[in-house]
Amino acid sequence: MSTLWIRHARVIDPATRRNAVGDLFIRDGKIVPSLSAAARQSARQIDARGLVACPGLVDIHVHFREPGQTHKETIATGSRAAAAGGFTTVVCMPNTSPVADNAGTIQYIHDATRRDAVVKVLPTGCITVGQKGAALAPFGSLKRAGVVALTDDGDCVQSNELMRRACEYAKMFDLPIMDHCQDASLTQGAVMNEGVVSTRLGLRGWPHAAEDIIVARNVILSEYTGAHLHLQHISSKYAVSILRRAKTRGVRITAEATPHHLAFTEEELGTYDTHFKMNPPLRTASDRRAIIAGLRDGTLDCIATDHAPHTDYEKDKEFDYAPNGILGLETALAVALGVLVRQHKFKLTHVVDLMTRQPARVLGLPAGSLAAGSAADVCLFHPTETWRYDAKSGFSKSSNSPWHGRNLTGRVKLTIVDGRVVFEHGQIVAPAH
């Protein structure tokens, strides 16, 4: 494996509290404290003057659609979009076709990852058989197959009794449960946030209570069973408040926010653009402010993209009939920098933490650090470079992004996975593992 010497970068590593201009050394796929004089002579030198070097970004919520929905995305194309966005570790959701509720499907994902991926792709398994919310999936065999968490993401387990049993068994197997918080009885036919804007647009509204009720249930079940529950894509200010109170009591609950809920509100839907249709829906300006405040004070633990590819012909429908979901991987860092650092004066180190160390901590992943001996997963980015995002020419197989055609600030220049440069100068430069 090649030896790399990254020079003159601003190195930000929240895990080791490093934040200074300096060098990074990589040998045999690991971060090393230094290189010998002979090794420096033969190393590939990367002049990172003006760039930030941080741990490879970690996304614990992506949809890569394989197996079964490869017209939207594949592990190959999704992992390339991840590399282009500076991500080196991603956790893929199990709502594939068939769903990942058994060891055989998990093995398929492992095999496809080894064959096709340019970043680390870690699978999750379903909470329930067929993701139907009626009977628990075989947690033990899923754990042995290598899942890092359990989730029915895309659906929410509606039965409180079943979710209680899921928590008890997940704790036995030391697996986190990730939950998509939605009371389905409150959202039948709903397509956007319920309120003044939905009334004006004539679209059926989706009350924030549908999220809040399940968030509260999950807090109660986590406290009751001692299981670790991670709540996905929080969008409601009331949910943030529930979580804040739970954390003061020491409940084993974590939660994430998405770039789109940080950047947009329901007002974006005025033109019925389906690229702004997602689950949970964009909500109000006060909800957006609460999510940002939740990230600032640690109520929300990390940023995750909920990268959800759909084809053009699926999204090009009447608003009611278009699927929920947008792309997120190639734009996440720039959006987070724009909203949190430039608009809301977060420290750059805090945003890096929310996208590296913190998501890795949530699921206990060996990622998000530049400590000596760690895997050499590195993201190099220019924090102030402005660029125009063209979803049509991106690395994802789909192009359903609300940021298409917009100028963004903050650009990934180079991505390294296990000491191999996989993305550089706007191109994927390494084959799959």
Where does the pLDDT of residue 431 fall: very low under 50, low under 70, confident under 90, or very high at 90 and above? low
Give me the residues paired with residue 192 across strands.
Answer: 205
Model pLDDT for residues 323-356, shown as the tens digit of each residue:
999 999 999 999 999 999 999 999 999 999 999 9
Average pLDDT over residues 126-149: 98
User: Would you put residue 299 in left (φ > 0), alpha (ψ -120 to 50) or beta?
Assistant: alpha
pLDDT for residue 433 is more than 70: no
Distance CA 58, CA 68 (A): 25
pLDDT at 374 over 60: yes
Average pLDDT score, the chain: 97
In terms of Cβ atoms closer than 10 Å to its own Cβ (0-12, 13-18, 19+), residue 22 is middle
Q: Which residues are catalytic?
A: 306
Cβ burial of 168 (10 Å; 0-12, 13-18, 19+) is middle
pLDDT reading at 407 higher than 70: yes
The answer to whether 404 touches 389, Cβ cutoff 8 Å, is: yes
pLDDT at 432 over 60: no
Strand partners, 401: none
The mean pLDDT value for 403-424 works out to 98
Structure tokens at 260: 């789109």
Residue 423 has pLDDT above 60, yes or no: yes
Per residue in 179-226, pLDDT (tens digit) is 999 999 999 999 999 999 999 999 999 999 999 999 999 999 999 999
Burial class (CB in 10 A: 0-12, 13-18, 19+), 257: buried
Residue 2 pLDDT: 81
Distance of CA 372 to the CA centre of its chain: 26
Q: In the numeric block, which tokens belong to residue 427?
A: 């191109």
Tokens of 428: 């994927």
pLDDT at 367 over 60: yes
Cα 86 from Cα 353, distance rounded (Å): 14
CA 188, CA 320: separation in Å to the nearest integer? 12
Residue 405: what residue type?
G
In this structure, are residues 79 and 117 in contact, taking their beta carbons and an 8 Å threshold?
A: yes
Averaged pLDDT for residues 314-320: 97
Contact 381, 86 (CB under 8 A): yes
pLDDT at 430 over 80: no
The pLDDT score that the predictor gives to residue 295 is: 98
Mean pLDDT of 228-235: 98
333 in Cβ contact with 85 (< 8 Å): yes
Contact present, 308 and 377 (Cβ < 8 Å): no
Interhelix angle for 160-172 vs 209-225, to 10°? 40
pLDDT at residue 256 greater than cutoff 60 = yes
**C-alpha dihedral (168, 172, 173, 179), degrees to nearest 10:** 20
CA angle 288, 290, 292 (to 5 degrees): 70
Sign of the four-CA dihedral 228, 229, 235, 239: negative
pLDDT range class, residue 1, cuts 50, 70, 90: low
Among 213, 208, 217, smallest CA distance to 235 is for 208
pLDDT band at 83 (very low <50, low <70, confident <90, very high): very high
pLDDT tens digits, 104-123: 999 999 999 999 999 999 99
Query: Is there a contact between 106 and 144 (Cβ–Cβ < 8 Å)?
Result: no
What superfamily would CATH give domain 56-363?
Answer: Metal-dependent hydrolases (3.20.20.140)
Domain parsing of the chain, residue ranges:
56-363
User: Nearest CA to 101 among 65, 151, 66, 60?
Assistant: 151
Average of pLDDT values for 146-150? 98
pLDDT band at 234; cut points 50, 70, 90: very high
pLDDT at 361: 98
